[in-house]
Structure 1
Amino acid sequence: MALQPDQRYTTGAPSWGRTATADAAAVDAGLRAYMLRVYNWMASGLLLTGVVAYLIANTPELQALFYQRVMTPRGAAVQPTILAYIAMFAPLAFVLVLSFGINRLSKTTAQALFWAFAAVMGASISHIFLTFTGASVARAFFVAAAMFGGMSLYGYTTKADLTRMGSFMMMGLIGIVIASLVNMFIGSTALQFAISIIGVVVFLGLTAWDTQRIKADYVEHAYAEGTELAAKRSVMDALGLYLNFINLFMLLLQFMGARQQE
């Protein structure tokens, strides 16, 4: 008798294949929902930062708490108060607490710290509305948003492994920090311009790398929707992208911004 294939096993796709396809589709849907949550957190934080910064700069009572106008040989200038200096360094404390304490924090506490961080960051950069014209601030913001969006999309869709690029960009970030500290003492305009240009490249690279890292982490761990872990991870991932954007914006403003006439 000739051997015939068993139609019970050769007809249609194998059951394991259907299961794998269903699992991949579920992960993909979960990833899109997770990334949307991350971007929503980031956008909400940026909105709060902008509102706080604008209110401080344009409300006389609040502005007086953070800045005072003094006369210099070149005319009137805005000088930060002690409260403004505290606000400048306070965001670092929030970042450290979130970064090193996220495993011990509850979901509600992590989210509250993120909102507090965004508000304090608004206070720390409120001087931009006193230094630069509103039109140039808006222009730098939209340019930063377009560049950020393009690089984040690249990081999400590319098949290339950006791990090595991320390591290189982290080295560049360390160099920028060192150069900025040096420039605080020498006050070189040329060095500041170079820092701004290199910084833009670095934070664009970090944006692509962070986006790919967030995607890879989700695919590897597949945080279950609605869990404490998923909620906390989305806040931390939003914080990373937020920092990339705000630094990109501030660097673009350094050489794109038009200063107000005193």
Structure 2
Amino acid sequence: MGLATALLSAGCARPSEDRAVRDTRVGQAEAEALKVEVEGGLASVRTLGSGALELWSQAPVLTVRVTAGAQARADWLFTVRNTMPGAALVAVDESGEALAVEPLPDAHPTVKAWRVALRPGATARLTVAPPDWDSRTPFRFAALADVQEALSKVGDIYTRLNEDPSLRFIFFAGDLTEYGTREQLEEFQQRLEASSRIPLYATLGNHETFTDDARIYQQLVGRASQHFTFQGVHFSLVDSGSSTVDPLVEEQLDGWLEEARDAVHVVAMHIPPLDPVGVRGGG
């Protein structure tokens, strides 16, 4: 092996390392004397400014830690997109005292908005969840992947899913779009809101990495790897979009597997880490 080949091999040894590192910053933002951190990175911060905080949710339950500086405004519009129908907001300060919350009319089953009275110089916890999130009753979800070039037709699938009122959310294993551009990802989200009555929680696929190593995906959608629970069931979405699983993600997955050792655990990724056929790049 020549020097150039050795250097190339070393440079490609962890092709998804940068994405794994960037994942740790998803759900964090700071502006207008307000610091926001979504626990577990389970939402992307779409807007923070002019008295508005908007998130794109990637889980049925979100907890957001909000720290308001002394100069922060008190009245904020808090919007969560891609959330569960029937989700409610509970806002408390560090002592557990409830903050004033005003629900606003729903624009769509998966879009919720509230007016929240924050306290300058204090920290608040905002929790968004459906009322039955911690029950142990059976539920159903849909599994989907590989929309890619069929983006203009995906509404047909949502229409079929809408016919089943027992479905709570869609669990998506990557390739939302063909090239992962901003325009395509925004179109995916617009079509989802226009046609689906339930949210969609996703990991990326190799097609999302075609544009800037999925940076736009992480900005608009959220983490490539994440974990959440709903009604006692654990769900893990794992980034294998580069035909491998980065050691940082493997470490996370080990923790999630241990956490769910005695529970039902659903794990999804786009490309299997070990491909017995050998037709994918990392097989």
Q: TM-score, normalised by structure 1?
A: 0.30
Higher relative contact order (CA 8 A, sep 6+): 1
* Structure with max Cα Rg: 1
The structure with the greater share of residues assigned to helix is: 1
